[in-house]
Amino acid sequence: MYGRRSGFLTFMLAAGMAFIYVPMILLVIYSFNYSKIVPVWGGWSLRWYETLFKSEAVWNAVALSLKIAVINATFATILGTLAGLAMVRFGKFKGRTLFGGMLVAPLVMPEVITGLSLLVLFISLKQLFGWPQDRGFTTITIAHITFSLAYVAVIIQSRLSGMGETLEEAALDLGAKPFRVLTDITMPRLAPGMVAGWLLAFTLSLDDLVIASFVTGPGANTLPILIFSRIRLGLRPDINALATIIILVVAIGVAIAAYIMFRQERQQQRDMQIVDREIP
């Protein structure tokens, strides 16, 4: 009985894994295909990687995407943390519920709406103040910050409400002024949440196609925009090569994150052991 069930489970697991990974594996294999027509196998080759590395447009897109992602993640983390703090730690202030609702709205808002409304905003701003001159790097970054900060705020908010206020009270009691409490007690304890928020904002920005397409202008192509626009003209082997590299980078990132988590866990276990050993 259990044997049968576990056989079934194994099958389901394999099927699920296949569902996720077979397309990716295909993509990787075809990126090494010599043939110019994707589904036709023409033997192994690195030719498309070469094309890719020689393409200035691709490098520009990568640079633009990374620049936007880093700036976005940094600003979103700062602003999102402040918003989260305001929500949890400043007690009841006027309009708190409204603020809370508005803060998480971008999470559920369809991307096309966010993108469209931001585009409208930028166009009206230009009308009124003549800024932003042209759409591209600045407008995409601003657009990304507006929705990433909501995600960061939610992460920080949940961490804060899980932490309780006793440590902050203890610090106040020991004579620390409120600002010192924020920098010496609250912030260090929020650091893991802020790192998580930064990484999430970074990935969200790298990922985004829809909003960026709305608010970008001529000449400013992020990596997703570039890939999508090229794929529209038909499958291309050099894009497969680009995708393979992205998969590799993501895999390395995940491995590093897993390793850090593993180390933290081991450290905790060691702490417990020290205590256990000493208590008879």
Question: What is the smallest separation between the CB atom of 277 and other proteins, expressed in angstroms?
Answer: 10
Which C-beta is closer to other proteins: that of 52 or that of 190?
Answer: 190
CA distances from 90 to 93, 98, 171 (A): 7, 15, 17
Where would I find the H helices in the chain?
2-31, 47-54, 56-89, 96-108, 111-129, 137-163, 166-173, 178-181, 187-207, 210-215, 223-231, 237-278
23 or 178: whose CB is closer to other proteins? 178
Residues forming the site for other proteins (CB under 8 A): 166-167, 169-178, 180, 184-185, 188-189, 268, 271-272, 274-275, 278-279
Least separation in angstroms between CB 196 and other proteins:
17
Whole-angstrom Cα distance, residue 95 to residue 76? Answer: 22
Q: Least Å distance between CB 184 and other proteins?
A: 8
Tell me how far, at minimum, the Cβ of 246 lies from other proteins, in Å.
Answer: 36
Cβ-based nearer residue to other proteins, 88 or 171: 171
Report the residue count for the chain: 280
Contact between 37 and 234 (Cβ < 8 Å): no
Q: State in angstroms the smallest separation of the CB of 191 from other proteins.
A: 8
Kindly state the DSSP code that residue 177 receives in the 8-state scheme.
Answer: -
Q: Are 201 and 72 in contact (CB under 8 A)?
A: yes
CB 236 within 8 A of CB 38: yes
How far apart are alpha carbons 62 and 105 in whole angstroms? Answer: 30
| Minimum CB distance to other proteins smaller for 50 or for 169 | 169
Following DSSP, what letter does each residue of 181-240 receive, concatenated?
A: HIIIIIHHHHHHHHHHHHHHHHHHHHH--HHHHHH--TT---HHHHHHHHHTT---HHHH
Closest approach, Cβ 258 to other proteins, in A, equals 22
Q: Which is nearer to other proteins, 39 or 175 (CB)?
A: 175
Nearer to other proteins, 181 or 220 (CB): 181
Closest separation between CB of residue 266 and other proteins, Å? 13
- DSSP assignments along 3-22, one per residue: HHHHHHHHHHHHHHHHHHHH
Nearer to other proteins, 15 or 174 (CB): 174
